[in-house]
């Protein structure tokens, strides 16, 4: 527990400083690299698909998906050029996977290729919401929303659950998670978003704020955090591993640390586009 808290105390502020100081392209490169590591963790570390070429294709595709989010968010190229490059990349990646499937005859399972598609396209597209948030006007403030609604909920659930958790939430998938912890995560998340909105209003010139919307972000984000966490926990249980990696002491790998962010980042993006909680 001490290692986990120490790693979070050092790593989270460092991550936030890097994200806030870097220009949007720097944020995109950072998360492109993270998604490449995540692809390796999902395919190789789990043992689902220990195929060097496919892991390499998938890692490159994951990076490309994140960089496409940057191109779109910052309008670096025209819409036509963007869509053409995306279609070409997806087509080449699909053909490479199908070629490996044919070459392996019956030794390569189609279900394993589906995991590669998740690792190379779905996961980086979801995480790419961080890059799309950073590319918005006032993006360096909006990207923090994704981290708040995922990590505050996760921390709140963890500490409340340890303090007074009695009823198991998902005993097979994640034995340590409790109903009390989940409720605590929701409450703490609401408080976190309301406090963040207050800070934006009082300190950073956001004159149009809506505290009800902020509370709604907290509620939806808390459930999204639990969904992402439990979903990737199911995979770990099915393949019989404790963590996806050991990159982050006390936390595991990229997939362990950014499991809830996988869902909360696009939630933040959608909510900000539909019902912005704070506008300058």
| pLDDT beyond 80 at 8 | no
| pLDDT beyond 80 at 123 | yes
Count of beta carbons in the 10 Å neighbourhood of residue 231: 14
Lowest mean pLDDT among 52-61, 125-134, 167-176, 191-200: 167-176
Q: Taking Cα atoms as reference points, which of 89, 119, 111, 162 lies closest to residue 258?
A: 119
> Is the dihedral angle over the CA atoms 6, 158, 277, 71 positive or is it negative?
positive
Determine the pLDDT at residue 10.
Answer: 58
- Burial (CB count <10 Å: 0-12, 13-18, 19+), residue 30: middle
Q: CA separation (Å) from 75 to 87, 132, 276?
A: 17, 11, 21
Q: How many C-alpha atoms does 12 have within 13 Å on its Cβ side?
A: 16
Name the 3-class secondary structure at 168. Answer: strand
pLDDT band at 65 (very low <50, low <70, confident <90, very high): very high
User: Average of pLDDT values for 16-34?
Assistant: 87
What CA–CA distance (Å, rounded) separates 186 from 168? Answer: 16
Determine the pLDDT at residue 11.
Answer: 58
| pLDDT beyond 80 at 14 | no
Q: CA separation (Å) from 200 to 140, 152, 204, 208?
A: 12, 17, 5, 10
> What residues have CB less than 8 Å from 108, skipping those under 6 apart?
51, 100, 101
Between 153 and 212, the more confident residue is 212
Tens digit of each residue's pLDDT (9 = 90 or more) over 171-217? 888 888 888 889 999 999 999 999 999 999 999 999 999 999 999 99
Determine the pLDDT at residue 9.
Answer: 59
DSSP 8-state secondary structure symbol assigned to residue 177: E
The string of DSSP letters for 124-137 reads HHHHTHHHHHHTST
Q: Average per-residue pLDDT in the chain?
A: 90
Percentage of residues of the chain with pLDDT beyond 90: 72
CB 181 within 8 A of CB 167: no
Tens digit of each residue's pLDDT (9 = 90 or more) over 39-53? 999 999 999 999 999
Model-level pTM? 0.92
Lowest mean pLDDT among 25-34, 90-99, 151-160, 255-264: 151-160
């Amino acid at each position: 527990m001490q290692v986990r808290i120490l790693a979070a105390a050092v790593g989270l502020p460092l991550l936030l400083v890097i994200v806030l100081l870097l220009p949007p392209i720097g944020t995109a490169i950072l998360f492109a690299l993270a998604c490449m590591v995540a692809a390796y963790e999902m395919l190789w570390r789990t043992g689902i698909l220990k195929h060097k070429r496919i892991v390499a294709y998938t890692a490159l595709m994951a990076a490309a998906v994140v960089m496409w989010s940057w191109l779109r968010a910052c309008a670096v190229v025209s819409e036509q050029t963007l869509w053409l490059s995306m279609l070409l990349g997806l087509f080449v990646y699909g053909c490479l996977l199908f070629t490996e499937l044919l070459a392996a005859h019956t030794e390569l399972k189609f279900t394993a290729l589906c995991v590669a598609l998740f690792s190379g396209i779905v996961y980086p597209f979801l995480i790419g919401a961080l890059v799309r948030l950073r590319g918005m006007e006032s993006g360096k403030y909006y990207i923090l929303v994704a981290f708040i609604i995922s990590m505050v909920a996760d921390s709140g659930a963890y500490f409340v659950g340890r303090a007074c958790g009695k009823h198991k939430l998902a005993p097979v998938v994640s034995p340590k998670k409790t109903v009390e912890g989940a409720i605590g995560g929701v409450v703490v998340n609401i408080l976190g978003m309301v406090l963040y909105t207050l800070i934006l209003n009082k300190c950073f010139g956001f004159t149009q704020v809506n505290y009800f919307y902020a509370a709604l972000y907290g509620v939806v984000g808390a459930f999204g955090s639990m969904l992402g966490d439990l979903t990737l926990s199911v995979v770990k249980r099915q393949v019989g591993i404790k963590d996806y990696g050991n990159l982050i002491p006390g936390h595991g790998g990229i997939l362990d640390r950014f499991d809830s962010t996988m869902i909360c980042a696009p939630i933040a993006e959608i909510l900000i586009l539909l019902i912005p909680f704070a506008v300058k």
